[in-house]
Amino acid sequence: MLRIASVNVNGIRATHRRGFGDWLATRGCDVVALQEVRAQASKLPDGAFGDFQVALETGQLPGRNGVAVLTREPPAAVRTWSGAALLGGPDEPLTPVPAADRVPLARGLSRFITEGRYLEVDLADAPVTIACLYLPKGGLPAHLQRPERMREAPDGGAKYARKMQFMDGFSRYLTRTRRAAAADGREFLLMGDLNIAHTRQDLAAWRRNQQTDGFLPEEREWLGEQLSPRTLVDVVRRLHPEEDGPYSWWSWLGQSFANDAGWRIDYHLATPRLARAAVRAEVDREHHGVRLSDHSPVVVDYDLG
């Protein structure tokens, strides 16, 4: 059995203050993908990654983004878009290493290579490639921007355009790297915060959010295009086909968490054989009564036989 989790920690230092270290030590995970680490190596808290081996891509934007994959054994290979990563273990300092090459970066992604949004590792103890993604949040297209309804100043659709460019390039890259994993005899699992709720089941207040970034028709269509019975399968939805949710993100504001008025935007997307091996999927809403982040861990057990 392989227990794999995806967690947007929204700041590794903040989540440790809320009990992330204890969750990591007691949840029994074999692999954990982290998004929004939001700390350069020198700013990581002591014991940031517990007893795990870690591959870390911080990016070059202080206090923003950053992805990591934690494993029990040192990974067989690590790939990043920047060409470098940090590797270390519980008794080892993080050491810069060159990332392995496999597939060329797709057109449109070059502007994102220093942002710490993507990391990929080959597990040493299972024939699986793990990819960790933090997809840009984006914004609204210009024609939907109404200042009286926005917390931020209108930007003419710049953030929306940026997200769409990322998705367009990433779609091509995802196909390439998934096929490369298959050529190496490996299953492929993409995890992370995709900042898109795919269907009405994935957003509690879907009726009033149809013109909200993260639930725009074109975003939902893009996510649907990445999924099929022959390419990638939404593992949690496969195991919970009729359920609303289980949601993985709730605003800190108001009573959205208490009322379970959330969004399901954190995913496990697996190649079909690996998806069929998934036997249990859970969202850890709280740990000892405390929210670790505005996101909650999405934990899946895979029975690889």
- Distance of alpha carbon 166 from alpha carbon 182, whole angstroms: 24
The whole-number pLDDT of residue 100 equals 84
260-276: pLDDT as tens digits: 999 999 999 999 999 99
Contact 176, 103 (CB under 8 A): yes
Give the SS3 label for residue 35. strand
The mean per-residue pLDDT over the stretch 97-103 comes to: 86
The whole-number pLDDT of residue 290 equals 97
Task: Indicate the pLDDT class of residue 181, thresholds 50, 70 and 90.
Answer: very high
The whole-number pLDDT of residue 192 equals 98
| The pLDDT of residue 288 is above 70 | yes
Domains, the chain, in order of start with CATH, read: 2-302 (3.60.10.10)
Contact 269, 233 (CB under 8 A): yes
Judged by phi (left if over 0) then psi (alpha if -120 to 50, else beta), residue 301 lies in beta
- Distance of alpha carbon 149 from alpha carbon 277, whole angstroms: 44
186-205: pLDDT as tens digits: 999 999 999 999 999 999 99
Q: Which residue has the tokens 């269907």?
A: 199
108-158: pLDDT as tens digits: 999 999 999 999 999 999 999 999 999 999 999 988 888 766 677 888 899
Q: CB under 8 Å to 230, separation ≥6 — which residues?
A: 272
230-250: pLDDT as tens digits: 999 999 999 999 999 999 999
Angstrom distances, CA of residue 265 to CA of 8, 40, 137, 161, 202? 10, 25, 11, 20, 8
The whole-number pLDDT of residue 304 equals 94
Q: Which of 53-57, 66-70, 87-91, 115-119 comes out lowest in average pLDDT?
A: 87-91
The whole-number pLDDT of residue 150 equals 63
pTM: 0.97
The mean per-residue pLDDT over the stretch 49-65 comes to: 95
Identity of the residue numbered 262: G
In sign, the C-alpha dihedral spanning 205, 206, 211, 216 is positive
Task: Indicate the pLDDT class of residue 13, thresholds 50, 70 and 90.
Answer: very high
